[in-house]
Amino acid sequence: MLFLAVFCGFLAEYQLEHTIEHNREKQFMKSMVEDLEKDIQLLKDESQLVMEQFNGLDSIVQIINEGTLGKSEVRKIYALQRKFLYPITLELINRTEIQLKNAGGMRLIRNKEVSDSIINYWQLKERFNDTKEAINGHRIKAKDLSFSLFNNKYYSKERVRFTFDDFHGEPELITKQPAVLTEFANRVSHTSELLLINYKHRRLDILEYSATRLIEVIKKEYHLK
């Protein structure tokens, strides 16, 4: 009888622990879905911003390559470089990811399809971050060179009614040396090409699809609404 009581106690404790872990697993998956839904919206918004940035940077290159830098062209590239030569700052949600990695939570994910899909999504995020760093690295080099071309004194400091084409006086380039302008155009061009090819057409679309697919798998396997 004593053995039976001990054994039943062991079974009850095992069942309780199993139930607790199952509940934690489901809570993690609910949290993961919330993060993924936020990621999808961030990626959609970023996709639009990236295309606007690409078009702006591409316009700078076209103006410089055409070789006619009159007053209107100079004003335009002053405005464009200020508006679009900025770093990529998108940070995807990693709340649940951190919890699963740091607390050993991945061992709770019993469904192999779900765990494999989560790991695949994390790998895609890492590649996305690598691409972002590459783009920002080229952008920094172009921005450093811009200090030899654009004089900050022409930019308006009136933040209340700030616009990118609001200037003090008529903007002039610090230099029109072909070598400097060509190098700047080349660096801007390379940045815009990375945005279009590696960022928009591959990383963002693939990430958004992967996040959407992962949500579907989690909701199906854990019967979430």
**Which of the residue ranges 43-52, 119-128, 143-152 would you say has the lowest mean pLDDT?**
43-52
Q: What share of the chain has pLDDT > 70, as a percent?
A: 85
Nearest residue to 210 via CA among 45, 52, 43: 43
Domain that holds residue 99: 2-222
Q: What six digits make up the tokens of 12? A: 């009850």
The answer to whether 155 and 167 are in contact (CB under 8 A) is yes
Compare 41 and 225 and report the one with higher pLDDT.
41
Average pLDDT, the chain: 86
Number of domains the chain is built from? 1
Q: What's the pLDDT band for 159 if we cut at 50, 70, 90?
A: low
Q: What share of the chain has pLDDT > 90, as a percent?
A: 58
Half-sphere exposure of 4 (CA within 13 A, CB side): 1
Region 184-204 average pLDDT: 86
Q: What six digits make up the tokens of 116? A: 């494999």
Q: Does position 15 have pLDDT exceeding 90, yes or no?
A: no
Region 193-215 average pLDDT: 87
Q: Does position 93 have pLDDT exceeding 90, yes or no?
A: yes
Q: Which long-range contacts (CB under 8 A, 24 or more apart) does 166-169 make?
A: 167/75, 167/78
Quote the DSSP letter at residue 106. G
Q: What is the pLDDT of residue 198?
A: 74
Amino acid letter for position 30: K
- This prediction has a pTM of 0.81
Alpha helices, DSSP H, located in 159-204: 178-194
Alpha helices, DSSP H, located in 70-176: 71-84, 95-102, 112-146
Compare 189 and 161 and report the one with higher pLDDT.
189
Compare 180 and 200 and report the one with higher pLDDT.
180
Q: What six digits make up the tokens of 166? A: 């609001």
Amino acid letter for position 126: E
Q: Which residues, including other chains, have CB under 8 Å from residue 207's CB and lie 6 or more apart? A: 39, 43, 92, 121, 124, 125, 128
Q: What six digits make up the tokens of 196? A: 């279009």
Q: Does position 216 have pLDDT exceeding 60, yes or no?
A: yes
